[in-house]
């Protein structure tokens, strides 16, 4: 288990050299090769960037809704597809079924 720790902490290519050279666990070396292959793949990099942007946008939108304390903002974010229903329910402190019911009643009252 200790041989995986330097790999988990690695932030740069240079941080991978030491575990690659000193590890006696074959899977550590295989993982480093895979990390290098994925890092070199532009499509994987682009997908990672978009995923990170999506997570950032979601966190920003949820933070805004939370600060304002407005369920209607949360519901709008869910309806626009910015936030999933599951995440909306979690943020509202409801079960998924309760949140869906709340969204339906909210839509009827607007």
Of 9 and 37, which is predicted with more confidence? 37
- The mean pLDDT of 15-33, rounded to a whole number, is 75
Of 97 and 48, which is predicted with more confidence? 97
Check residue 80 and give its pLDDT.
Answer: 92
Q: Which two tokens stand for residue 74?
A: 């949360």
Cα–Cα dist 57/53, whole Å: 6
Angle at 42 between CA 36 and CA 45, to 5 degrees: 75
Coil vs helix vs strand at 18: helix
pLDDT tens-digit series, residues 74-100 = 888 999 999 999 999 998 888 999 989
pLDDT tens-digit series, residues 52-72 = 998 888 888 887 776 555 677
Check residue 105 and give its pLDDT.
Answer: 79
Check residue 97 and give its pLDDT.
Answer: 94
Check residue 13 and give its pLDDT.
Answer: 76
Cα–Cα dist 105/29, whole Å: 55
């Amino acid at each position: 288990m200790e041989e995986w720790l330097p790999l988990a902490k690695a932030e740069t290519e240079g941080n991978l050299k030491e575990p690659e050279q000193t590890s006696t666990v074959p899977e550590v070396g295989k993982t480093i090769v895979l990390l290098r292959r994925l890092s070199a793949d532009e499509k994987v990099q682009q997908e990672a960037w978009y995923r990170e942007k999506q997570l950032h946008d979601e966190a920003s939108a949820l933070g805004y809704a939370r600060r304002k304390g407005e369920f209607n903002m949360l519901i709008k974010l869910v309806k626009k597809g910015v936030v999933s229903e599951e995440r909306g329910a979690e943020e509202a402190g409801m079960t998924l079924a309760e949140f869906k019911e709340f969204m339906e009643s909210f839509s009827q009252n607007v």
